[in-house]
Amino acid sequence: MAANAKRIKLNGSTRQAPKGSRALSKADEAETMEVTLRLRPKVSSVELDRLAAKLGETAPKKRQYLTRAELTERYGASPADVKKVEDFAHANKLTVKRAHLSSRVVKLTGAVEDVRKAFGVVLKKATFDGRTYRVRQGAVSIPKSLAGIVVGVHGIDNRPVAKPHLRQRRRAAARNAQDGSLTVAQIAKLYNFPSGLTGKGQCVAIIELNGFAHGKAADTGYEVSDLQKFFAQNGIAMPEVVSVGVDGGANLPGRPDGGDDEVTLDIEVAAAVARGARYAVYFAPNTTNGFIDAVKAAVHDDQRKPSVISISWGGPEDPFGHASTQFLAGLNEAFRDAALLGVTVCVAAGDDGAPDMGKQGWDGKPHTDFPSSSPYALACGGTKLVGSGATIESETVWNEGARDNGAGGGGVSNVFARPDYQAGASIPLSPKKKRGRGVPDVAGNADPATGYKIFVGGRNEVIGGTSAVAPLIAGLVALINEQLTKAANKTVGFVNPLIYAGSGPAAFRDITNGDNDVYGNLGKYAAGAGWDACTGLGVPDGKRLLSLLT
């Protein structure tokens, strides 16, 4: 395949310079970089969407999930397509590092200059938020012979694409024993989570994103000593936890301003609910490449076989060219694979209310957080929970305002169409007047004022945010999966169609008070009877949800 073959622009690959960034110089031409190419499946994406939708409408006991081997054979990448990509790599002085048919990716390595020429991109060094990144502008181009074969090219640009969705309460307030904060066990009891189940036999995958410094993954991780102290304080045996590195990611504690808090919160909340499960924490760089590869690594992990994935990272799906539509498509594709394999994906819906971004630089419009806006994600919104023992005194939409620790994310997607399972929900049109996917699906305690007691950084802390809700719900799913595995050797998998249909909404306690208009001037969105763009269907009653799904 000639290096100068006729070329076309890859649909959805256009990116813009980060808002507020400053270009420094050309990217280092001699630096070695890794690029991931996503390839088409053996059948059309439309057919796979139909297959996942049909599967979702079937009761879990009767579902026929694919094995990972079957997914590869029927819907993986074609060896012939991989061969064409290998020929392209050879012609452009790039090295094939790995080809994975099941997840439909080929990873290439090469010098920055060779990658730049191979994909026809402009690369610059740019600085923003105090760090320097390799940034591309415009679209990626590929040879015409690869048109329809290559559907995504990721990793050329290494700017961050997501942030952790957590909010930490002020330490002075957190020291007050009567401050309204709750242990995970107390929240589980208030939400009527089933007793007698521990998640035994299940593996919970947790996705975490490292920072990036000097060309390598940096910061973000957990200290084993923090976990040991937390579980000892809560009378729980230390669960099995393993760190899995993806694309150079690793357990690298050292970022107390968010990264370490996020990782530790995720593990401690999920494991305090499902104390008998195993936990695999997948670390990858905070890039389009890293995020997609981390999720695919978990979904296609044939060794640990996670049955539920928790993701507490995200960002607005459509502002300022922040990402690209090929990035959104890549993660959505990974979530769809999860559905076909019987894996549930729980995703935090964001902590900046309906705007879904900080006030500085906000465009005045509502935005939906991604990847919670994927129709294959179980999107987890936020509430403010006040209660004790088994009695809930009040529960409203989490909204403490922009200056007092944020509000639960929620809205209507401009990118993803309204899925069939939401046809009966009263979802308004999206900001661009489209019939879009409504977010969230479910909700749980997220207000840091009534937050979760965890142990991180060598001290007790109180942390909230929808970051806490995703692992809370993932822990509940692990409990339900334990019961369902015993009864029918099945897992819950793609749960969304089931909770919206028939008696599904009855498994949730509707939250009807409050709004997520965090800045107070948008007019969107307010809670009400039935589904709403603040708390979705409401807060799960654990035992009712167990009954519904098993």
Annotated catalytic residues are 262, 266, 467
Widest pairwise Cα distance in the chain: 71
Q: What angle do the packed helices 224-233 and 259-273 form, to 10 degrees?
A: 40
Contact assessment for residue 372 and residue 440, using Cβ atoms and an 8 Å cutoff: yes
305: tokens are: 């076989």
158-173 as b/e, with b when 16 or more CB fall inside 10 Å? bbbbbbbbbbbbeeee
CA dist 446 and 386 (Å) reads 11
Q: Are 131 and 218 in contact (CB under 8 A)?
A: no
Q: Looking at the DSSP assignment, which residues form a beta bridge with residue 167? A: 464
Q: Which of 228, 239, 285 is nearest to 475 (CA)?
A: 239
| CA-to-CA separations, 296 to 34, 207, 343, in angstroms, rounded | 17, 10, 12
Smallest CA-to-CA distance from 165 within 302, 435, 358 is with: 358
Structure tokens at 487: 């009864």
Going edge to edge, which strands form the sheet with 122-128?
A: 22-26, 122-128, 131-137
CA distance 1 to 256: 49
Cα(345)–Cα(205) distance, integer angstroms? 9
Residue with token string 């209310």:
353
Nearest to 241 by CA among 260, 223, 215: 223
For residue 463, give the H/E element and its range.
strand 459-464
CA 229 to each of CA 77, 242, 275: distance values in angstroms, whole numbers, following the listed order: 45, 17, 15
- What b/e sequence results for 440-467 when a residue is b if at least 16 CB atoms lie within 10 Å of its CB, and e otherwise? bbbbbbbbbbbbbbbbbeeebbbbbbbb
Beta partners for residue 147, in sequence order? 150
Are the C-beta atoms of residues 274 and 204 closer than 8 Å to each other?
yes
Alpha carbon distance 192, 390 (integer Å): 8
Distance, CA of 222 to CA of 251 (rounded, Å) = 7
